[in-house]
């Protein structure tokens, strides 16, 4: 476990979506976040106290979380310098980038010298197996998206918490760096060798026999040329009984690919159901979650209503309006049956 409380790193980021890890921790684990560290040229804020590294330590922080993400998950020189300074100040350092903290000699030497730790969240577990697609017992829901970074993690956590509030056993299964930091466990699926993606998800959400639900965080999009492979492996490994489609209506193009438009909601939903049916023939869509954070509430509600009319399933913004309608629809599903030798 990564020692809390946390000081959340924004650095010099000017990309609101790119600080999603720090933002996710501030949203879902606020009790463990003492403040934010950002440079003067950073225009963003999580509305937490702005603290220097030394002030963060004085406020009780034990770990600096490098909660930013860029294309390729690389570490820029300024970030490395900040991580060294954090270690000098007495903080452990955690990151979820593809480039590893442990591969930076200066960070390793500084951590060893001071008796501190480096945490690379994007390390896949050892001994993953290849997926097989055999039917397994349990109820599973997977969030999918029209693009990456459209709110799949937020929707998944909201659904898990709503089920728990109704007395239904439910577990959030994290598949990305932010979700893992929030949940304290999971599989960073985009760091898994391609052959093992579906198997990793089968292990993340194995059979369960308590009538509860595994809520599996989706990644990427079937329609994103960069990340569709991960999305496909998730659909097959999750073997979902239900899917929820996530979308940002203010997104003008695929993230990181200007000029490439997002798919229509109907098209995206149909394709996800088709791909999921390979391992889950009875999969169905139970709702749509929109990220309407850039819209007025009345406009957002009208858009949710139009989306419901278009697709014939409930639509909401999980953070603004809750997910009750989606939970009602989800709980109408018949309980799954245990797997048998015949089903294999």
Q: What is the mean pLDDT of residues 316-322?
A: 97
Q: Does the global pTM surpass 0.75?
A: yes
Mean pLDDT over residues 126-135, rounded?
93
Q: Which of 10-14, 15-19, 70-74, 202-206 has the highest mean pLDDT?
A: 202-206
Assess whether pLDDT exceeds 90 at residue 126: no
SS3 for the chain is CCCCCEEEEEECCCCCHHHHHHHHHHHHCHHHEEEEEECCCCCCCCCCCECCHHHHHHCCCCEEEECCCCCCCCCCHHHHHHHHHHHHHCCEEEECCCCCHHHCHHHHHHHHHHCCCEEECCCCCCCCCCCCCCCCCCEEEEEEECCCCCCHHHHHHHHHHHHHHCCCCEEEECCCHHHHHHHCCCCCHHHCCHHHHHHHHHHHCCCCCCCCEEEECCCCCCCCCCCHHHHHHHHHHHCCCEEEEEECCCCCCCCCCCCCCCCCHHHHHHHHHHHHCCCCCCCEEEEEEECCCCCCHHHHHHHHHHHHHHHCCCEECHHHHCCHHHHHHHCCCCCCCCCCCCCC
Q: With 80 as the cut, is the pLDDT of residue 97 above it?
A: yes
Give 278-299 pLDDT, tens digit per residue. Answer: 999 999 999 999 999 989 999 9
Does position 312 have pLDDT exceeding 70, yes or no?
yes
User: pLDDT tens, 246-280?
Assistant: 999 999 999 989 999 999 999 999 999 999 999 99
Whether the pLDDT of residue 337 is over 60: the answer is no
pLDDT digits over 163-207, tens only?
999 999 999 999 999 999 999 899 999 999 999 999 999 999 999
Residue 115 has pLDDT above 80, yes or no: yes
Sketch out the chain's domains with CATH numbers. 6-120 (3.40.50.720), 139-330 (3.40.50.300)
Q: What's the pLDDT at 336?
A: 44
For 25-43, what is each residue's pLDDT tens digit? 999 999 999 999 999 999 9
Confidence tier at 340 by pLDDT (50, 70, 90): very low
Q: Is the pLDDT of residue 339 over 90?
A: no
Structure confidence at residue 335 (pLDDT): 52
Confidence at residue 18, expressed as pLDDT on a 0 to 100 scale = 86
């Amino acid at each position: 476990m990564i020692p809390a409380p946390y000081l959340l790193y924004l650095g010099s980021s000017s990309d609101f979506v790119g600080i999603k890890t720090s933002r996710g921790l501030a949203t879902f684990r606020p009790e463990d976040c003492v403040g934010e560290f950002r440079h003067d040229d950073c225009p963003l804020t999580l509305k937490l106290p702005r603290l220097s590294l030394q002030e963060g330590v004085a406020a009780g922080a034990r770990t600096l979380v490098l909660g930013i993400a860029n294309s390729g998950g690389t570490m820029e020189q300024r970030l490395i310098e900040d991580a060294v300074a954090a270690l000098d100040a007495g903080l452990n350092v955690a990151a979820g980038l593809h480039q590893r903290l442990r591969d930076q000699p200066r960070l390793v030497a500084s951590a060893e010298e001071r008796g501190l730790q480096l945490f690379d969240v994007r390390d896949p577990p050892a001994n993953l197996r290849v997926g097989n697609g055999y039917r397994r017992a349990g109820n599973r829901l997977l969030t999918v998206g029209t693009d990456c970074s459209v709110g799949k993690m937020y929707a998944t956590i909201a659904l898990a918490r709503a089920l728990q509030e109704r007395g239904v056993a439910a577990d959030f299964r994290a598949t990305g760096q932010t979700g893992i930091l929030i949940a304290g466990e999971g599989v960073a699926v985009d760091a898994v060798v391609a052959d093992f993606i579906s198997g990793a998800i089968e292990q993340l959400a194995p059979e369960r026999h308590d009538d509860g639900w595994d809520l599996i965080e989706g990644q990427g999009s079937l329609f994103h040329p960069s990340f569709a492979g991960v999305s496909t492996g998730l659909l097959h490994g999750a073997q979902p009984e239900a899917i929820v489609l996530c979308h940002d209506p203010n997104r003008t193009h695929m993230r990181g690919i200007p000029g490439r438009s997002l798919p229509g909601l109907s098209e995206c939903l149909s394709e996800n159901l088709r791909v999921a049916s390979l391992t889950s023939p009875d999969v169905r869509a139970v709702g749509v979650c929109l990220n309407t954070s850039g819209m007025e509430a009345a406009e957002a509600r009208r858009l949710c209503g139009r989306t419901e009319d278009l697709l014939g399933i409930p639509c909401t913004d999980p953070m603004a309006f809750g997910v009750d309608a989606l939970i009602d629809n989800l709980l109408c599903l018949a309980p799954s049956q245990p797997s048998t030798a015949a089903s294999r």
